[in-house]
Amino acid sequence: MSADPVQVEFLYGVDSSVHDDSRFYEPPRVVKFRITKKTPKRIYYLASEDWEARRRTGFVDRQRIEADGEIYQRNRHWSAPDFHLYLAPPELNQVAKPDLGELKAAMAAAHPDRGGTEADFIAARARYQNAIAKEAST
């Protein structure tokens, strides 16, 4: 009486919630949406990460998402995690925090007294000051 477990399939989206206050920043994360039904034309999914609390169902064009591997939902708000859906989990490229020591060294190396040009020094100094300002705001 051992029944094979049913494989649960998912569509994937990205939750990149943006808040006005940087104290509440959360990096983007991959969100899974459980597929509930597949027909020849559509794939139906639960459009909520908390499947038990809300049972809002969405659907996508099956031929388009299977051909492209991703699809945009024009009927969803751009900030909704299911606005842009993927068949496979997307890879998120997180921007690394700049190293102030490296930026300061690059600024010093670009100084005109050390053989750099004025334009290179101004650009390096701007990058250094932007990094300091971002670090001070967090």
Question: pLDDT per residue over 54-99, tens digit each?
Answer: 567 888 999 999 999 999 988 888 878 888 999 999 988 766 677 8
Note the pLDDT tens digit of each residue in 7-27: 768 999 888 766 555 566 677
What is the per-residue DSSP string for 106-127? Answer: HHHHTSGGGT--HHHHHHHHHH
Share of the chain above pLDDT 70, in %: 78
CA quadruple 136, 16, 96, 128: dihedral sign: negative
Q: Which residue has the higher pLDDT, 136 or 3?
A: 136
